[in-house]
Structures are given as C-alpha cells and as structure tokens.
Amino acid sequence: MRDARSCHCSRCRKAFSAQASAYALLDEEVFSWTSGEELLTSYIGEQGFGLQFCKVCGSTLTGIYDGRIHGVTLGCVDGDPDIEIGMHIYVGSKAAWEVLPQEESRAAFYQAGSDG
C-alpha cells in the first residue's frame, strides 16, 4: 500500500457513509486475494470508477477503475496497515459540518478541488 489519502468528495462521503474516505493505492501486480474473492460484488459508475463490496457484510473493500483494483479502503484492513494518511483531497467539497484537523500544514496536507 502507498499514498494513503482521505477524500472528502460527495461520492466518497456517500460510499463510505462518513465525512471522508480513508484509502491507499495498491500496485495491482503485487496484490491478490488470498480468499473470499467469490464473495465480492461491485458497483461501477458512469466514468468507470467503482467499489467492491463484501456480499456478506457489506464492507467496502477496494476501489476499482476500468475493471482493475487500484486501492484498498483502510477501514477494512485487519491490524495496523503501517501507513498514515498523507493528504486530504477534494476538501473544497467537504461537508459543511466537517471540521478538518488544524495541526497540519494546509499547503502540504490539503488539496482543495471540488467533487472528484
């Protein structure tokens, strides 16, 4: 896993039922399911981006684009994933009720942008 981020766009807020997502990119060539792949179902949006879910518990597990896994949701990782959120993206679309952490340097930590 690499490049962990928290996305605040409206799609992520809805998909994760939260103020933002916690997500890390994967190198597809080194990622593989060890079990349970048959329990996955997917949602793909109009632009080719989507998510994979567990059919049993409904957990959002991976992000997909163009039919390929490109990232994993950090909330579904058992144990310590040994990674830190490196940036908050699409904060220009954050929910009006969300308060972002103030201790970080806004220039390095936040990317404004509107909905992704």
Q: How would you write 55-109 as a 3-class SS string?
A: CCCCCEEEEEECCEEEEEEHHHCCCCCCCCCCEEECHHHCCCCCCCCCCCCHHHH
81 touches 24 (CB < 8 A): yes
2-111 carries CATH number 3.40.50.2020 = no
Chain segment 41-77, per-residue pLDDT in tens: 999 988 888 999 999 998 899 999 888 898 999 988 8
The model's pTM is: 0.76
Q: What was the pLDDT predicted at 105?
A: 47
Domain spans in the chain, listed from the N-terminal domain onward: 2-111
**What single-letter DSSP state applies at residue 24?**
E
The rounded distance, in Å, linking the Cα atoms of 21 and 8 is 7
